[in-house]
Chain A
Amino acid sequence: MEVLKEKVEEEEEAEREEAAVRAERGEKVVRPMEVRREEAPMTQEMLRDLEKKLSDIEMAIPEKLSTFTKDTIDISKLPLSYQSNTLKEEHLLQVADSFSRQYSHLCPDRVPLFLHPLNECEVPKLVSTTIRPTLMPYPELYNWDSCAQFVSDFLTMVPLLDPLKPPSHLYSPTTVLKYQEGNCFDFSTLLCSMLLGAGYDAYCVNGYGSQDMCQMDLTRDVCPLTVKHQEVVQEEEKVPPKKYAIKPPRDLTSRFQQEQETKKLEEIKAEEERRLREEEERLLREEDKEATQYPSTFLWMISHPESQRRKPDVEKAKTDPLHGLRVHSWVLVLSGKREVPESFFIDPFTARSYSTQDDHFLGIESLWNHKNYWVNMQDCWNCCKDLVFDLGDPVRWEYLLLGTEKSHLSLTEEEEDGLNDDDDVENLGKEDEDKSFDMPPSWVEQIEISPEAFETRCPNGKKVIQYKRAKLEKWAPYLNSNGLVCRLTTYEDLECTKTLEIKEWFQNREDMLELKHIDKSTGLNVDYFKPGHPQALRVHSYKSMQPETDRIMEFYDRARVDGLVKREETSKTMTEYYRGRSDFLSYRHVSFGDRVKKLSLNSAESNPRPIVKITERFARNPEQPADEDVAERVFLISEERIQLRYHCRDDHITASKREFLRRSEVDNKGNKIVMTPDMCISFEVEPMEHTKKLLYQYEAMMRLKNEEKLSRHQAWESELEVLEILKLREEEEEEHRLTISIYDTKRNEKSKEYREAMERVMHEEHLRQVEAQLDYLAPFLAQLPPSEKMTRWQAMRVKDECLSDFKQRLIDKANLIQARFEKETQELQKKQQWYQENQVTLTVEDEDLYLSYCSQAMFRIRILEQRLNRHKELAPLKYLALEEKLYKDPRLVEFMKVFV
């Protein structure tokens, strides 16, 4: 009873909501009308136009706001197949009805079959015909996982009105796609259509699922993105011990002691486990107590799934009183086609695949594809674990239509069917001509997904999924101005209040930022970049963007000239790792001292931190003997010491070392000391004569001094680079420009402009062509009596008239030019006369004015003269051209021929 009451309440609420929406909408509609009324009177047409537009708007609003009930769907626009049944379909429905009757007669204790729900036009349709196998034109939708992901992203889940019963209506996949909403049956029908189109052996399943699954409640699931990929530890191939492998030294440790040790460890572990178990049990008991206080919790949860999700969740699922009764629909993919090795379920809500043994699936009533319908005759006492998906076995699966899809029992036949699906009908007929009745084609229209919709994916391009201790938000690309496409927030607690870490994925960023990982507990930010950052940055992890703080930058070393792989910084040190350098440098560590306070206030100069120590390591240079190839050199700058360590020879365990002291440049008497034996302490693996010489040591020290300078310079440059990168990063973060592929015609402004320009040019070209095709004969032809065939005489006359008219026009034009010319000359003459008369009294300005006038007039006259001459020259030619054209005119040509 309570269920019913809740339902009524819910309906009422829905009505109320709708009313509110309608009221709002009404306001919206009315207001602009009022505004308009105050303006100038409108014509009837405008009014009608406006009304039409408004009505269009009115149509759009409810669709968006509706809770997807049948009255919001515009039935009138749907094709005929949606609104009525064909004869065959009627027949099929009858068959289904009789099947259903027999079934209920034979199994009176089972619920009625979900066979032919009503569609959006209130027409009963068999569920199998609602499936419309379609292969999508997107290569991304060719595999089952991406298909399922798309369906789960694209549609918004609406819970079943009655969670214990299949819905009364099952809409077509096209309608579902249009409104982007649906219940589990809509989801699985759409997904099944796509999978069948892609060649999978897929079935829609009507069955029973767990509460979490039916309500798409992922709050108890761990987000798949947070699960770390378990490193598959590659079993090292055990090399068979070689014939002459040396025997390991004898193990002299006591085995007894080892055993005692392990025993102790195990005991400690067991103790720990026991303690944990007790803790858990205690918690559970408390929860149970809590649960008993709210006996009707589950009902409340059903009608308010949203609020339920927000409700503080508990680690363990509560026992669901409706367990095993909740109706759910999902997709079954059988093995065999598309190289599927094993049958599995897909939950269309979450797009996850489950094995057929999974605990979430509690039972199956029936399943169907576009060809047939099967009723499960097996016992589901142990969920779906014992079910055998051998649809050809009539004891386990009762079929609606005989032998549409052949059994798995007879393998050879099945293969045949697989090979030529098209022949199914024929085979059928041969097998059983009397009883066979094949499934009519689907009444649903072709499923189409526009590229825009495909790219946007989620309704309005945004989707939020709540997982256990995590929230996943998805956006369509280009929706966010900073390129954000996905954000995963992980929380510490189940209530999702304390943020643990945030991961943000970006796309199409110009700075190639791919992933930003913010760890709230440590305050560590890690940015990951794709190849192509201007500074070849790969990973940047930092706590603050201030220089001289802890940070690690990793680079794409192939893209850098200096082969830098990684640079680690702390407040006092900087460590750089290199790879593939020609000088074999692989590591440089710089320690800084405290800044010395500058006495002078000259702050314009930067005050670099003093370098205390530089350590550089080199890889082995195969061209030099090991004794001369430096492995590590340490410049102790403050102590004025240089330490060298050489590489180890291949057959040695010790390496040569050398230390230079350059403390005493001048001895106590003030004499300059060049080099003394105690300035160089060395240990040589194999003492050599020449290295003992002071000269050799002196030269080596001079070289090292130079190199020290260079290394210091390098360190300074590295510091500068860090500053530069930080500045660049800040700029990039502020700007966050997005790149647009040149193939993206919709977004690429440049190409758009170019295209528009091209179109404009085309249009103009077209106009010009139209102009060029002006008919010079038209006015003369119009004089002729209409709809009569021209006589030769008439044709001649038309031609002559046309010519004479043209001649006249040429003459007129010449006359016109002549007249203007004369006028100009007259005026000039007048002016000249006037000038001569008043020459004496004229001011300088007037004279200038006159002179400029004269020159202009002369210019005009000359131009006119030129024009006249040109006209005179061209006129006869033009006349001849016209004559020729007229001779060739298709309308006159037949008359002219005779004369020629």
Chain B
Amino acid sequence: MNWLYDSVEPRVMDEDMLKLAVGEQGPRDEAGQLARQEGILFKDVLSLRLDFQNILRIDSLWQFENLRKLQLDNNIIEKIEGLERLVHLVWLDLSFNNIEAIEGLDTLVNLEDLSLFNNRISKIDSLDALVKLQVLSLGNNEISHVTNIIYLRRFKDLRTLSLSGNPIAEEEDYKMFICAYLPDLVYLDFRRIDDHMKELAEIKHQYGIDELKQRENLTQAQLDDERAQREELEEHKAAFVERLNGSFLFDSMYAEDVEGNKLAHLPGVSELLQAYKDKFVIICLNIFEYGLKQQEKRKVELDTFNECVQEAIQENREQGKRRIAKFEETHLLSLNAIRDESEVTNLEMKVAEHSKDITELFDMLMTLEMQLVEQLEETINTFERNIMDLVALFIENVQSLMAQCRDLENHHHEKLLEISINTLEKILKGELDEDLPYDVRALFVDKDTIVNAVGTSHDLHLLKIDNREDELVTRTNSWCSHLVDAIHKDEIMRNRRRVKEIHQYVDHVQNELDNLECSEIID
């Protein structure tokens, strides 16, 4: 395609080339003079034009962090690359190049206008990240399949599209098809789509669209469902009682329990198992509900705490602002007075006075800050205590409920053991009427085997319960300690910031005074 440039040597995008371009395209006149004086940093550049440069490879652009508009048209670029860092890019022009596939655009989430006119692209894809896309120019490419258009349905903001010059545009139904499947489109191939056309297209392709819509809706609904479920689980996890609102724990106990499952075939065990399961699930549900309730409580506690702390900080901030405002008034006045003063003794006196004012302000602000720190510390400690208590209570109660689970298990174990031994005796005596599966019968060889089997099953169950409990306890504790740590850390950060701010301000004020003094003395 680019036979025009075939004879020309490809150029490399290097520092000099970029500097030149930036300098040429930067501010003009007086501002340009200033810009030249200071030099322009690449990261301040908002717009860059690099057309007709015979660039083969996109390179060295990583410094242009804030670039909004990039023109790379009329080069011999073959691959889209090196644009990953330009996340603020809104406008990207890559027309009249030799690009064969769309790629490397996954980080450009702000892109609104993309031009790939006159390239060698045959498939529209890898544009998923470009959710804000409004204008897409893909004319004079090698796109041939209509599925490419259906791909474009995901861009809700897409209004302008050009596809002329593609094999697909040769098709008879081309326009109608696009109008029907992209109903929000306003301009197609540089022309406005009239409403009449849209209606016609819609009627023509109604069945296809309806089907497509149906499919899309289904997928959407599925996604929504999944998300809702995920959110719910997330919520339960935050309460540390996820998956306790059912028989999940119970089922997991028996999932790996080979012996237990085998023993379930014994007469009377299935009923026993059922009863056991019911009771177990009820306890699990108890834990679950209790957990949610506690979570609510903790949340309320945390919210109240945050609110109070915010209020305190806000109040303190207002006071500080008032002080500064008051100071600023006097500051201006005394600065003026000092400026106007001619007598040296008076001048010195005034300067000294004002320095005193500044120190006073500094002391005042620092006092305020220290006061707040003290107050907050006390509050934070109270909160810490309370939340610890809450968590401890929660853990204690959950543990007692878990103990109930264990009791149930023990009880069940005893019963099972009894039944097993009875069965063993029966088998030994040959009184057993029912047929047992072969592998189950294999257990009833002697007493040790059966007792061992039942014991293994029991141990496994207890282990599962213990694990669940441990998980809950550790997670709760870690959450608590994290929370408290974060609060402390935030408070410390806040304090540091404020102290730094105060220092900075006072330094600035002092500087102002000093500068004045210096100039005065020099004068």
Interface residues of A (CB under 8 A from B): 242-247, 249, 648, 651-654, 674-675, 683, 685, 690, 693-695, 698-699
A247 surroundings in chain B (CB, below 8 A): 375, 378
Q: Does B34 contact A (CB under 8 A)?
A: yes
Q: How far is the CA of A266 from the CA of B75 in the complex (A)?
A: 93
Q: Is the CB of B505 within 8 A of A654?
A: yes
A652 surroundings in chain B (CB, below 8 A): 317, 501
Q: Is the CB of A653 within 8 A of B320?
A: yes
Q: What's the nearest-Cβ distance from chain B to residue A879, in Å?
A: 66
Q: Is the CB of B308 within 8 A of A245?
A: yes
Q: What's the nearest-Cβ distance from chain B to residue A147, in Å?
A: 53
Task: Say whether, besides A674-B33, A685-B504, A651 and B497 are in contact (CB < 8 Å).
Answer: yes
16 contacts between A and B (CB under 8 A): A242-B304, A243-B304, A243-B308, A244-B307, A244-B309, A244-B379, A246-B376, A246-B379, A648-B321, A652-B317, A653-B501, A654-B324, A654-B501, A683-B505, A694-B38, A698-B31
A648 surroundings in chain B (CB, below 8 A): 321
Q: Is the CB of A690 within 8 A of B382?
A: no
A654 surroundings in chain B (CB, below 8 A): 324, 501-502, 504-505
Q: Is the CB of B497 within 8 A of A244?
A: no
Q: How far is the CA of A244 from the CA of B375 in the complex (A)?
A: 10
In B6-60, the 8 Å CB interface with A consists of 27, 30-31, 33-35, 37-38, 40, 44
A675 surroundings in chain B (CB, below 8 A): 30, 34
Q: What's the nearest-Cβ distance from chain A to residue B358, in Å?
A: 14
Interface 1/0s, chain B 287-315, versus A by CB < 8 A?
Answer: 00000000000000100110111011100
In the complex, given contacts A245-B312, A654-B505, what are 8 additional A-B residue pairs having Cβ atoms less than 8 angstroms apart?
A: A246-B375, A246-B379, A247-B375, A247-B378, A651-B313, A653-B324, A683-B508, A694-B37
Q: Is the CB of A674 within 8 A of B30?
A: yes
Q: Is the CB of A249 within 8 A of B371?
A: yes
Q: How far is the CA of A293 from the CA of B317 in the complex (A)?
A: 73
Considering the complex of A and B, which 4 residue pairs feature the smallest CB-CB distances, nearest first? A653-B320, A244-B308, A246-B375, A246-B312
Interface residues of B (CB under 8 A from A): 27, 30-31, 33-35, 37-38, 40, 44, 301, 304-305, 307-309, 311-313, 317, 320-321, 324, 365, 371, 375-376, 378-379, 382-383, 494, 497-498, 501-502, 504-505, 508
B508 surroundings in chain A (CB, below 8 A): 683
Q: How far is the CA of A230 from the CA of B125 in the complex (A)?
A: 74
Q: Is the CB of B382 within 8 A of A651?
A: no
B321 surroundings in chain A (CB, below 8 A): 648, 653
Q: Which of A243, A246, A675, A694 has the most CB of B within 10 A?
A: A246
Q: What's the nearest-Cβ distance from chain B to residue A317, in Å?
A: 54
From the candidates B31, B308, B311, B317, name the one contacting A699 in the complex (CB within 8 A): B31
Q: How far is the CA of A242 from the CA of B379 in the complex (A)?
A: 11
User: Quick one: closest A residue to B308, CB to CB?
Assistant: A244
Q: Is the CB of A694 within 8 A of B34?
A: yes
Q: What's the nearest-Cβ distance from chain B to residue A692, in Å?
A: 10
User: Quick one: closest A residue to B365, CB to CB?
Assistant: A653
A243 surroundings in chain B (CB, below 8 A): 301, 304-305, 308
A674 surroundings in chain B (CB, below 8 A): 30, 33-34
Q: How far is the CA of A243 from the CA of B378 in the complex (A)?
A: 12
Q: How far is the CA of A695 from the CA of B33 in the complex (A)?
A: 9
Q: Is the CB of A244 within 8 A of B31?
A: no
A242 surroundings in chain B (CB, below 8 A): 304, 307-308
B307 surroundings in chain A (CB, below 8 A): 242, 244
From the candidates B34, B312, B494, B501, name the one contacting A685 in the complex (CB within 8 A): B501
A695 surroundings in chain B (CB, below 8 A): 27, 31, 34-35, 38, 40
Task: Say whether, besides A651-B317, A651-B494, A695-B27, A244 and B305 are in contact (CB < 8 Å).
Answer: yes
Q: Is the CB of B34 within 8 A of A690?
A: no
Q: What's the nearest-Cβ distance from chain A to residue B366, in Å?
A: 12
Q: What's the nearest-Cβ distance from chain A to residue B453, in Å?
A: 56
Q: Is the CB of B312 within 8 A of A653?
A: no
B38 surroundings in chain A (CB, below 8 A): 693-695
Q: What's the nearest-Cβ distance from chain A to residue B437, in Å?
A: 62
Q: How far is the CA of A247 from the CA of B376 in the complex (A)?
A: 9
Q: What's the nearest-Cβ distance from chain A to residue B51, in Å?
A: 25
Q: How far is the CA of A690 from the CA of B66 in the complex (A)?
A: 12
Q: What's the nearest-Cβ distance from chain A to residue B491, in Å?
A: 12
Q: How far is the CA of A818 from the CA of B378 in the complex (A)?
A: 127
A249 surroundings in chain B (CB, below 8 A): 371, 375
Q: How far is the CA of A685 from the CA of B320 in the complex (A)?
A: 15
Q: What's the nearest-Cβ distance from chain B to residue A641, in Å?
A: 13
B371 surroundings in chain A (CB, below 8 A): 249
A245 surroundings in chain B (CB, below 8 A): 308, 311-312, 379
Q: What's the nearest-Cβ distance from chain B to residue A699, in Å?
A: 7
User: Quick one: closest A residue to B316, CB to CB?
Assistant: A653
User: Quick one: closest A residue to B371, CB to CB?
Assistant: A249
